[in-house]
Amino acid sequence: MSRSRLRRLALVVVASTALLGLGACSVQTADGEASPTGATAAAASAPCADASPIELADIQPVADPRSITGPATACLADDAVPVLAPHPQPSLPVTVVDHQGTSVTVTDTSRILALDMAGTLAATVYSLGLGDQVVGRDTSTGFAQAADLPEVTQGGHQLSAEAILALAPTVILTDTSIGPWDVVLQMRDAGIPVVVVTPDRSLATVGSLVQSVADALGVSDEGASVAAELEQRIDATEAQIAAIAPTAQADRLRMLFLYVRGNAGVYYIFGGESGADALITSLGAIDVAGEAGIQGMRPMTAEALVAAAPDVILVMTKGLESVGGVDGLLERLPAVAQTPAGQNRRIVDMSDYEILSFGPRTPEVLAALAGALYAPTDSAASR
């Protein structure tokens, strides 16, 4: 498998995916646990039920973040996607050349499907003020406004042609992270405009992805405004994080992103060019996987984990639950217990829907993670 393919998969792993065999996942996670959707998503994020917005300027960071012990959950105060362009008026028809070089003409945006493995595309449509026109969702679209929409994915991220056609979409936005591709081609054969955008998800692509979605839906001006606002807010949040994180390289937290799926025995380290590396760097920390030369997504080995010696390990919430919490993680992976993070129980988790989604809620995601890292008693739920 090519490095570029690995990179795309690492960038878009979200929700309760299992990646075993690098294939599509079922609604049940690989370890037999149900993927959180709709009402069950709220239950999955119970530790965050009483979360308050994180104001980084107001928190009191610990002088030495490496001295902090115990796990924490990074929480968003609001499960809804912010609408940053209320009541846009699409200018249609519009013709765009998509990520694959295909010319696509969109004449009607009254029934939108936005489908990808990260749930980012649907969130972007909502942020552009067109959420009322979204008629269905994939399993990774877990934010509040979309909770009651019918799913068009089966077995996790397998697109169902029948479910899609039943919703009579007038335009479909997707990428190459979700399939099977034959279903996408079938939709085009049925006369539905399908716009394919980049599958890359990182801090650097938030603005450009918003613009691509906006262009395809005939709201380019609103897209430019929303993209600029998000990029400005991300920059401002990174500046606030820099003000509370240690300035000396030797004092920075050494951090590693570990993808965990319990009984399936799926444990991956996310390294350079995975999206997790940019996230960690933006948090004022050192990406120890990238430092060790790990690129993309690599199956975890005990030797690599111990050698990386992370002070903090980042995980997805459902992944941590799949191994029985922090105690289960330390029991199943003795190598974790040999790291400073394991010895100090410094495991920080965040919702699968949010941590690597890189979309309209990215500023809030960064702030929540920074609070959990530098002032957990003020800003993060205990586990």
154 close to 109: Cβ distance less than 8 angstroms: no
CA–CA separation, 376 and 383 (whole Å): 11
HEC secondary structure over 109-168: CCCEEEECCCCHHHHHHHHCCCHHHECCECCCCCCHHHCCCCECEECCCEECHHHHHHCC
Q: What stretches of the chain show up as alpha helix (H) in DSSP? A: 3-12, 39-44, 120-127, 161-166, 181-189, 206-216, 220-244, 276-282, 288-291, 302-308, 317-322, 325-332, 334-337, 340-343, 362-374, 376-379
Q: Which residues are 324's β-sheet partners?
A: none
Q: How far is CA 193 from CA 87, 98, 107, 291, in A?
A: 23, 11, 9, 43
Please state the pTM of the whole predicted model: 0.86
Confidence (pLDDT) at 51: 80
Element (H, E) at 15: none
pLDDT of 379 above 80:
no
Provide the pLDDT for residue 38.
37
Neighbours of 285 (CB within 10 A): 26
Query: Please, what sign has the CA dihedral across residues 216, 222, 225, 227?
Result: negative
SS3 at position 179: strand
Using CA atoms, how far residue 245 sits from 69, 70, 253, 372, 381, in Å, is: 17, 19, 9, 12, 20
8 A C-beta contact, residue 128 and residue 219: yes
In whole angstroms, how large is the CA radius of gyration of the chain? 20
Give yes or no for a contact between 346 and 70, defined as CB atoms under 8 angstroms apart: yes
Q: At residue 330, does pLDDT exceed 50?
A: yes
Mean pLDDT, range 342-368, rounded to an integer: 95
Edge to edge, the sheet with strand 112-115 lists 112-115, 171-174, 194-196
What digits encode the pLDDT tens for the residues 261-305? 887 888 999 998 888 999 999 999 999 999 999 998 899 999 999
Q: Kindly report, residue by residue over 32-53, the tens digit of the pLDDT.
A: 333 333 333 333 446 787 788 8
Per-residue three-class SS string for 304-350: HHHHHCCCEEEEEHHHHHHCCHHHHHHHHCHHHHCCHHHHCCCEEEE
Mean pLDDT over 98-119 rounds to 96
Has residue 219 got a pLDDT over 70?
yes
Q: Decide if pLDDT at 139 tops 80.
A: yes
Query: Percentage of residues in the chain with pLDDT exceeding 70?
Result: 86
In whole angstroms, give the CA distance from residue 174 to residue 362. 20
- 134 by Cβ neighbours in 10 Å (0-12 / 13-18 / 19+) ranks as buried
Q: What is the mean pLDDT of the chain?
A: 87
Using 50, 70 and 90 to split pLDDT, how confident is the model at 380? low
Candidate from 18-32, 176-190, 317-331 with smallest mean pLDDT = 18-32
More confident residue, 315 or 17: 315
How many other CB atoms sit within 10 Å of the CB of residue 312? 27
138-151: average pLDDT = 92
Bridge partners for 203 per DSSP: none
Kind and range of the H or E run holding 258: strand 254-261
Identify the weakest region by mean pLDDT among 147-161, 240-254, 362-376. Answer: 147-161
Question: Do 274 and 11 meet the contact criterion of CB atoms below 8 Å apart?
Answer: yes
Q: Check residue 34 and report its DSSP letter.
A: B
pLDDT digits (tens, 9 = 90+) for 159-214: 999 999 999 999 999 999 899 999 999 999 999 999 999 998 889 999 999 999 99
Q: What is the pLDDT of residue 263?
A: 73
Per-residue pLDDT, 130:
98
The Cα diameter of the chain in Å comes to: 60
Give the rounded percent of residues in the chain with a pLDDT score beyond 90. 74
CB neighbour burial string for 327-360, b if at least 16 within 10 angstroms, e if fewer? eebbebbebbeebebbebbbbbbbbbbbbbbbbb
Of the pLDDT bands very low, low, confident and very high (cuts 50, 70, 90), residue 140 is confident
Distance CA 264, CA 31 (A): 5
